[in-house]
Chains A and B, each alone.
Chain A
Amino acid sequence: MSFVLVAPILIPLLAAAVTALFWNHPYIQRPIGLVASAALLGVALNLLVRTSDGTILVTQMGNWAAPFGISLVIDLFSAIMLVITGLMALAVSVYAMGPASIERDRAGFQPLFHSLILGVCGSFSTGDIFNLYVWFEVMLIASFGLLVLERTREQLDGGIRYVVLNLIGTTMFLLAVGLLYGLTGTLNFADLARVAPAVENKGALAAVGMLLLIAFGAKAALFPLFNWLPAAYHTASMPVAAIFAALLTKVGVYAIIRVFTLVFAHEAGFFGPIFLVVAVATMVTGVLGAAMHYDIRKILSFHIISQIGYMLVGVALMTPLAIAGSILYIVHHIIVKANLFLLAGAIRQETGSFALRRIGGLWAIKPLLGVMFLIPALSLAGIPPLSGFWGKLVVIRSGLEAEAYWLAGIALAVGVLTLYSMIKIWNEAFWKSAPEGDAAALPWTARERLATYAPIIVLGGLTITIGLLTEPFAVISIQAAESLLDRQAYIAAVLGPDAPRLAEIQP
């Protein structure tokens, strides 16, 4: 029982340790990495099955009773996130065997990659806010290393901006944790949820909430804290950019949803309007940034920001449907966005450049690549019957039901602008004739080609599956949303049915 709960943390930890031992042997590292990613996906699926009936799995580390030790808590939302993490780890592990993999592996890609997955899985599993901080740091230091893996001048510059802004965000998190502990005397999420509504100093608690919002917002690239993302993501190598785009910002979104549905749920009247404004501003600035760029990686980076806005609508409205929409959107977005970054790498391999001005004519020579691009691109823009349509539909419908008509209107308009950016890539890379110039296809072996295209095809297939077979995904999202809003069940699961009210808990 408890082993399954620890497994999503142990598997990447072991993989990171073992691949670090074989530092200079990429051919030994790769199968280990693949097996670890596949095992992670398997364990996560097992957890999803166990939690799908609404059970909340809890284990106490070192058998310390709940509010004192570190609890690992996996509910349906966590399990969904773990499954998607396992899937992305597997897809990127395969993709990373593509072009330039030897140099990347020799620079230490494998151990850092699995450390990153370790941090992400830990963040999704923990039930303790200080422990969440520690997992954030694990993730952060691994992402620093991954970002500057090739040590090019471009990466050093992007890396500095990324590192400095994230360091400030993470210190804000630490400060907020300290203040929260001072106000409530506890760090356990369930205990915080129980104690927080009774805190007398409402103003100080709201200030802590704002600090947490800033810290998680910097991680999730919310308006106006997103500047590090477009400055850094496009410099990373493609497998790294894909796993960053898929998981890093979503950990911030996960933390926001977890903390603001659990600990600050009683303050929803105060935080709701703030989230609403931030969500809309994030959607709009992201999509406008994407509209002005002519580099595939930069367009995709800005679209990450824009899409984060949709995921925030759930915490802004706090209705079961809105949160279900956020969860469905996160699942759809992770698959689609990672796939688009993988495709960007493939496009570069086929044409020799990421710059849209230098490339073209792909439709004539690689029509299948065009189809593979269109699936996630149209899904991102929300064209039916692909997965993005259903994600947007639920988000917009929850906005209409909550009578936030302007929110729904802006969400629709942003969808149109997203379509504009995707059509821009399509027109430039696939449709127009290839410009004369220096850009030419890079050489690669059949094996590298297979490693590149296999994950793209699988993720594209998943996008279509979610689009055509939405029912189970929607049902599970709604179930997860209802379980997120049922705070008493979470508290009872972690602390036990008759949680002791400790007088001496206030510091």
Chain B
Amino acid sequence: MGTVFIVMVGTLTAASIYMFLARDLPRVLIGFVLLGTAANLAIFAAGRVGSMVPPLVEPGAQALAAHASNPLPQALILTAIVIGFGLTAFALMLVVKAYGAFATISIEEVDEAEPHRAEPQPETLAPAARQKQEAA
């Protein structure tokens, strides 16, 4: 059982990294979803996998049975799934907005925040020095 989880986590992580390397944003988002799933499975595997004994304390007993399944990872994963869903929804809306604004989904074609074109100035001199030169 453990081996299956290891292979699944590894495959999902590899697939997500491949998706992150893509230029277009929807693929990157799918990569994020896959990576989130890999992390959730890792948490699940880090708990105790395979036990079918429900985590309930028997009447009269003081603690859980020795091989009861572990409910905590499932609670953690549930939280993480909800959070991941919210983040994905926001990121998806952002990509839709960006597509509306730039008419492209490729991040390489967008350079609004950090323009590649230099400002229309001679690059060699700092402005103060250039001004001094112009004055002279």
* Residues of A bordering B, CB below 8 Å: 130, 133-134, 137, 140-141, 144-145, 148, 151, 153-161, 163-164, 167-168, 170-171, 174-175, 177-179, 181-183, 230-232, 234-235, 294, 355-357, 424, 427-428, 431-433, 435, 504, 507
Contacts and interface: CB of A to CB of B under 8 A. Distances in A.
A507 B42 contact: no
B83 interface: yes
Given A157-B110, A171-B35, A178-B40, 12 more contacts: A144-B94, A148-B94, A156-B98, A157-B111, A160-B95, A163-B94, A164-B28, A164-B32, A168-B35, A181-B43, A181-B46, A182-B43
A145 B35 CA distance: 23
The SS class assigned to the B binding surface is helix
A241 to B, nearest CB: 13
Contact of A432 (B42, B95, B128): B128
Contacts of A154: 112-113
B46 A355 contact: no
A149 to B, nearest CB: 13
A359 to B, nearest CB: 10
Nearest to A182: B46
Contacts of A161: 107, 113
A50 B96 CA distance: 49
Given A177-B43, A231-B113, A507 B48 contact: yes
A428 B32 CA distance: 43
Given A148-B94, A154-B113, A171 B47 contact: no
Contacts of B72: 181, 507
B87 A160 contact: no
Contacts of A174: 36, 39-40, 43, 80
Nearest to A232: B113
A432 B131 contact: yes
What's the interface size class on B, roughly? 35 or more
A160 B112 contact: no
A120 to B, nearest CB: 17
Contacts of B126: 424
A164 B33 CA distance: 12
B64 A504 contact: yes
A156 B112 CA distance: 9
Interface of B: 20, 25, 28, 32, 35-36, 38-40, 42-43, 45-48, 63-64, 66, 70, 72-73, 76, 79-80, 83-84, 86-87, 90-91, 94-95, 97-98, 101-102, 107, 110-114, 119, 121, 126-128, 131
Contacts of B86: 137, 141
Contacts of B25: 160, 164
Max count, chain B CB within 10 A of own CB: residue among A141, A167, A170: A167
Nearest to A424: B126
Q: Which 7 A-B pairs have the closest CB atoms?
A: A182-B46, A178-B43, A158-B113, A157-B112, A175-B39, A157-B113, A174-B39
A47 to B, nearest CB: 27
Contact of B113 (A137, A171, A234): A234
Given A130-B76, A232-B113, A156 B32 contact: no
Contacts of A175: 38-39, 42-43
A160 B90 contact: no
Contact of A235 (B38, B39, B101, B113): B113
Nearest to B131: A432
A167 B32 contact: yes
B46 A167 contact: no
Given A174-B43, A181-B76, A156 B35 contact: no
Given A427-B128, A432-B131, A156 B39 contact: no
A356 B112 contact: no
B127 A163 contact: no
A178 B28 contact: no
Contacts of A234: 113
A234 B102 CA distance: 19
